[in-house]
Amino acid sequence: MSEEAAPDGLELPVEELPGGLRAAVEAILMVADRPVTDEQVAAALDRPAGQVNAVLVDLQREYDGYTGSGSQGAEHSVPRGFELRNIAGGWRIFSRKHFASVVADFVLDGQSARLSQAALETLAVIAYRQPVSRARVSAIRGVNVDSVVRTLLQRGLVVELETDPETGAVLYGTTALFLERLGLGSVDGLPRIAPHLPGLESLGEYDETTY
């Protein structure tokens, strides 16, 4: 193990924290909102990719119920309700496949076939202001829009376009599915609403910077 001193910001080397490197990798896997590669995890932990890969494979086995090399002892154990999958080079935690029906019940509970007013309004802002960050949409609508944007993402009506080079914020835009629903060929086909909005740009800027 060619471990060097602590990486940036971290006071202790992860090996000295409860759970060690293994738990550090788990922490990343649990909250990463997209698949992560060996290299990304290795970079964040400042450890060699090979070492990190070994931990990932080991975690995968442990979640599946093989604890041979894990920290829990050498026996066969019960699989967890989640699994670690490596798809196209990236690792991601999913709910375990054979619980799909109960998970589906949970996911579909309370889902509506219609968009809420809040979702419609948020979609309208994104459509006319794209590419736009959540913070800015929030500022325009005057409420937090995180969960509504998630709904729109799930519905495939909006998509993450890019990352704002300056702020690092994710910028959203509408999708082909959105245009399809509206029966439009392109975003340019959206009816103009410009006349009302001379001072809007500066308003948006202002709101964004006030928090």
192: enclosing H helix or E strand = none
Q: Does the N-terminal peptide bond of residue 131 adopt cis geometry, omega within 30 degrees of 0?
A: yes
Closest CA to 68 of 20, 25, 60, 98: 60
Contacts of a second copy in 36-95 (CB under 8 A) = 36, 40-41, 43-45, 60, 64-65, 71-73, 77-83, 85, 93-95
Interface residue with a second copy among 69, 89, 150, 182 (CB under 8 A) is 150
Q: Which amino acid is at 135?
A: A
Q: Which stretch binds another protein (CB under 8 A): 42-50, 58-66, 67-75, 103-111?
A: 103-111
Contacts of another protein in 130-169 (CB under 8 A) = 133-135, 138, 140-144, 146-147, 150, 153-157, 164, 166-169
Please tell me whether residue 125 binds another protein under the rule CB under 8 A: yes
Q: Which is nearer to another protein, 75 or 146 (CB)?
A: 146
Supply the minimum distance, in Å, between the C-beta of residue 136 and another protein. 10
What Å distances lie between residue 107 and 83, 89, 95, 116, CA to CA?
A: 18, 27, 12, 17
Contacts of a second copy in 171-210 (CB under 8 A) = 175, 177, 207, 210
Supply the minimum distance, in Å, between the C-beta of residue 46 and a second copy. 8
DSSP conformational letter for 76 = B
Between helix 49-64 and helix 38-45 the angle, nearest 10°, is: 110
> Using CB under 8 A as the criterion, what x/- string covers residues 6-45 for binding another protein?
-----------------------xxxxxx-----------
How far apart CA 180 and CA 176 sit, in angstroms, is: 6
